[in-house]
Structure 1
Amino acid sequence: MRKITFALLALILVGMLIPAGFSADSNLVITYGETTHGNSNYKSIVDSFFSSQAGIDINNAESKIITADQVNQISGGITGKTYSSNQILSSALVDLNDNSKLQVSVDKSKITTITGDMYISALKSAGITAGHVYVTSPVSATGESALAGIMNSYEEATDVEIPENVKQAATDEIQTEAQIVNNSGVDADSLSKLVDDVKQEVSGKNVTDHNTIVNIINNYVQNNNINITSVDIENLANTIEQVQNVQGDVNYYKNQVSDFMGGNSTGGFSLDGLFDWIKSFVNGI
């Protein structure tokens, strides 16, 4: 009888400690393009992709809607387009339960402009080092609305805002890469690797001088036979310099979300630990 009484008390304690609405998949966030969200058939296509690719129950995920206004804040520097509310299609799922490393899975049959490597490079620039991101669309789309949603998703999942200058630097990085790919025809993945390699060298050597960054890019371009113009190199140097200049804020953000990015997907609250404690407590009566 005493065991039953203490078990009931333990269950009451659990109810007091767990926030309302808590679920085991509280680190799942989906951002839908507003056109996709408003069309039941489109939303079903996107949900099916996320469910099958990530192996999740869609009903357990938080969801947000990305609007044309949000996308138009970044699209000018990528495709140069201004979108209406019936053109916001691409959607993203961020799964922070899968956080051993940063991964991005892009539905290449639907996303035409922004590649997985571009997303990864920009997210790393923002201090995001873990989680699995999935990007798709019900029909062909550039991936710009998904880009607008991904960082929003990380903020929602971690309850920590990414500094605005950090988001701007990461967004500008993708914009610059997309412009170079569109103008030069260079392979997008090759360009993303170049940018990632240069960023690592610049960061490792703590380079802040613009001309030195230009020289580093030139060396990588020549050694890897990448055909881009001197204007492209200048633009890349400006972008990488911008990323380097916000590293202080990037490191501050990384410290704020270290629990999420370092394998503790519950942000310091462990249900397993709580239930182990309850079990030992009850069994000891």
Structure 2
Amino acid sequence: MRKSTIGIVILSIILVGVIIPIGFSGQVDPVVITYGETTNANADYKNTVDSFFKNQANVDLKNANTKIITASEVNKISSTITGKTYGSDQIFSSALVDLNDNDNLEVSVDKSKITTITGDMYLSALKSAGIKSGHVYVTSPITATGESALAGIMNSYEEATNVEIPETVKEAANKEIYTQAEIVENSNVSSDKVSKMVDDVKETVKEKNVTDHPTIVNIINNYTVVNNINITNSDVEKLATTIEQIQNAQGDKNNYESKVSDVLNNTNATDSAKGFLDGLFT
């Protein structure tokens, strides 16, 4: 899919979320479904995404908490990513988040509908934001690129803990998703290869504690040569800027995680709930 069509595809912005009541009891099933308001208003669309969730997640949807994502909520995020504004008839995509499965973070993407962002891309960006547990299922009744899903997840973690994720952390994670999408759009490199490249380069930069732009550019260039990946100099620069932004946000990320830990230690939640919520954050 080329840039000439991305404007059409992105009309189906994804915004997904997680709502975990602090101090939920064992009787509460921590499964959340978020529906785009257009999908929720159309019975056929809603049945389509529900069928995907039933087949993939193996949970009782009747017991799931649900939330409707509106155009106004999407626009608050899309303005910082694409600069576009969407109407109430353009919010299609949906997600199910199962936090019963909280040993590891997993993302299952409906590849027949989500055309650019892969599960590995979401995983990488979510980990950059300090989130490491739960199983996220992403789908849409029509095709969508998927750049905006990460923002909705992070917004709902804020609601769950009443701790705001620093803007530097949110911006860096959102930028990571969007940069990967751009590289896929601009090159003949597969989404999987782009995802692995970004993950490997981030790990190298983190291990070497690199924060300066020229060195990150060199690391990326070396990686592309060794792995025979052909991307433009412009995309190399964008990726270097993105990874530099992630590195520079580490201090804010650590402060955020400390505040979340304080909230969990002082909440009236049961011991089992505390342990469950502790597992959501690095």
Distance apart, 1:19 and its partner CA: 8.9
Aligned to 2:234: 231
* Separation in structure 1 between the aligned mates of residue 108 and residue 269 of structure 2, nearest angstrom: 24
Q: How many pairs are equivalent?
A: 251
* Separation in structure 2 between the aligned mates of residue 57 and residue 270 of structure 1, nearest angstrom: 22
Name whichever of 35-44 and 95-104 sits farther off: 35-44
| Of 245, 248, 251, the match for 1:245 | 248
Aligned to 1:269: 271
Aligned to 2:63: 60
* Separation in structure 2 between the aligned mates of residue 21 and residue 40 of structure 1, nearest angstrom: 31
Is 1:48 equivalent to 2:54 in the alignment? no
Q: Which runs of 5+ in 2 are unaligned?
A: 1-20, 263-267, 276-282
Name whichever of 234-243 and 201-210 sits farther off: 201-210
Name whichever of 225-234 and 109-118 sits farther off: 109-118
Name whichever of 62-71 and 172-181 sits farther off: 62-71
1:217–1:74 Cα change, 3 Å: farther
SS in 1 for 2:145: coil
Computing the radius of gyration over CA atoms, which structure comes out larger, 1 or 2?
A: 1
SS in 1 for 2:137: strand
The one-letter code sitting in structure 2 at the alignment partner of 1:269 is: D
* Separation in structure 2 between the aligned mates of residue 255 and residue 69 of structure 1, nearest angstrom: 31
* Separation in structure 2 between the aligned mates of residue 22 and residue 241 of structure 1, nearest angstrom: 41
* Separation in structure 2 between the aligned mates of residue 37 and residue 60 of structure 1, nearest angstrom: 17
Matches within 5 A, 1:198-217: 198-217=201-220
* Separation in structure 2 between the aligned mates of residue 216 and residue 20 of structure 1, nearest angstrom: 45
Matches within 5 A, 1:174-193: 174-193=177-196
Aligned to 2:30: 27
Is 1:173 equivalent to 2:182 in the alignment? no
The one-letter code sitting in structure 2 at the alignment partner of 1:64 is: K
1:77–1:217 Cα change, 3 Å: farther
Q: Which runs of 5+ in 1 are unaligned?
A: 1-17, 260-265, 274-285
SS in 2 for 1:270: helix
* Separation in structure 2 between the aligned mates of residue 21 and residue 267 of structure 1, nearest angstrom: 7
1:34–1:218 Cα change, 3 Å: same
SS in 2 for 1:114: coil
* Separation in structure 2 between the aligned mates of residue 146 and residue 211 of structure 1, nearest angstrom: 31
Is 1:86 equivalent to 2:100 in the alignment? no
Kept in 2, the 8 Å contact 1:128–1:254? The answer is no
1:57–1:155 Cα change, 3 Å: farther
* Separation in structure 2 between the aligned mates of residue 105 and residue 19 of structure 1, nearest angstrom: 26
Kept in 2, the 8 Å contact 1:25–1:97? The answer is no
The one-letter code sitting in structure 1 at the alignment partner of 2:125 is: A
Kept in 2, the 8 Å contact 1:27–1:95? The answer is yes
Kept in 1, the 8 Å contact 2:22–2:161? The answer is no
* Separation in structure 2 between the aligned mates of residue 70 and residue 36 of structure 1, nearest angstrom: 15
1:254–1:115 Cα change, 3 Å: same
Is 1:143 equivalent to 2:146 in the alignment? yes
Name whichever of 140-149 and 72-81 sits farther off: 72-81
Name whichever of 58-67 and 20-29 sits farther off: 20-29
Aligned to 1:124: 127
The one-letter code sitting in structure 1 at the alignment partner of 2:226 is: N
RMSD (CA atoms)? 3.0
* Separation in structure 2 between the aligned mates of residue 80 and residue 221 of structure 1, nearest angstrom: 30
Cα deviation digits, residues 123-148 of structure 1 (max 9, x gap):
11111111111101122222245344
* Separation in structure 2 between the aligned mates of residue 39 and residue 230 of structure 1, nearest angstrom: 44
